[in-house]
Structure 1
């Protein structure tokens, strides 16, 4: 059964992506009802069983608003992939975020967790060779921050596919622009996103996360408790 603070219905955009389907799967394990939102042409990966699947373009405001009707929280797991189309990051990491914000407002969805990236907003970074991806991610973050919604931004480090030894991975949490590198399994990112949905103390925070087997066990709740005396940090 869900935790007492768990919304009855959670939506996940980018649900066919490598992080998105894990968010859906972890949410189902926690007892959420999940509305998985996918692009029309995307393949349906394993892991979406039990979720309601909705296909739409994020630029279709009417369809997106309808898909978010009755939803109590949204996890945005969309993200541009390296491509010869250098406008992809602008479209996916900025303009699509604005579309989702507008749809949330229209549908009455207040709680939003966005999966972004470590080093978001940094100009001099190799990832920016792919259409200034980190610059556009920061634009999307800023739009969410000024949206009036109850937002949390999760900035993971390099994303790992492997799920071996997850129980031995310790998490490192920080405020914005505190971590430079290191990585984290996508599965742990998915779990932290849901922890953030369930933690009111994460609202209004940019949270960077990486992991290592050299770190002691830690949780978002523990980190938030230690950070309770500080104002929500924004870059």
Structure 2
């Protein structure tokens, strides 16, 4: 059975990735900060030993290596939180991704899906007022692209907490640097990340996603089959 590690598992996107993976019958290892907590349903899954939870500081190299051993894939759902610390995006979205990539290589974990952001790498964007977050997200993407690992970058639009939208909206899929705005529920982002793990054609690609009630329902695999292969780097 595939064992999927999810870093940032207590975050708003991360815990949804964990929940969706469990619903698909996957073996899941949730990686989270020692002080973080899981939603009640996932906390119950941990108590029932249906979910393996590793609490650690991602800056601890040895602890991260231990957490990734035995896993076959990693979804990186870490992200800098709003803070007065303007170095946070550099530390989390660039250096933090680099550390996770290096740990994957060290333990032989090959398949990695990174949750990034629409407009990653763009300088002239309001989000960059928060510590140049889009610039550092693009650097994190590049660390992964150049790692030699089997990678996919998912760039979602504005993230919505409304899970109800996930049942009523279709995903708008494009390649890199083709979308600039619009939103998507975090629940759909989680599902696309897991679909990417199961889709060999998603390897080596940057995939931008938003959603709309006017968009026909279409799976990632269907879009991949219909879209031309593009280079991952931009």
Contact between 1:94 and 1:140, CA under 8 Å: does it hold in 2?
yes
Find the counterpart in structure 2 of residue 125 from structure 1: 125
- Gaps of at least 5 residues in structure 2 are none
Q: 1 or 2, which has the higher helix percentage? A: 2
Deviation of residue 189 (structure 1)?
0.2
Contact between 1:37 and 1:56, CA under 8 Å: does it hold in 2?
yes
Find the counterpart in structure 2 of residue 186 from structure 1: 186
What pairs with 1:74-223 in structure 2 (closer than 5 Å)?
Answer: 74-223=74-223
CA distance in 2, matches of 1:92, 1:11: 17
Deviation of residue 36 (structure 1)?
0.2
What pairs with 1:15-94 in structure 2 (closer than 5 Å)?
Answer: 15-48=9-42, 49=45, 50-94=50-94
Deviation of residue 233 (structure 1)?
3.8
1:177-230 deviations in Å (ceiling 9; x for gaps): 000100000000000000000001000000000001011111100110012x43
Deviation of residue 51 (structure 1)?
1.3
Contact between 1:93 and 1:136, CA under 8 Å: does it hold in 2?
yes
CA distance in 2, matches of 1:165, 1:126: 26
TM-score, normalised to structure 1, is 0.94
Contact between 1:9 and 1:33, CA under 8 Å: does it hold in 2?
yes
- Gaps of at least 5 residues in structure 1 are 1-6
165 and 93 in structure 1: CA distance in 2 versus 1, 3 angstrom threshold:
closer
Contact between 2:161 and 2:185, CA under 8 Å: does it hold in 1?
yes
CA distance in 2, matches of 1:103, 1:120: 23
Deviation of residue 111 (structure 1)?
0.1
How many pairs align?
228
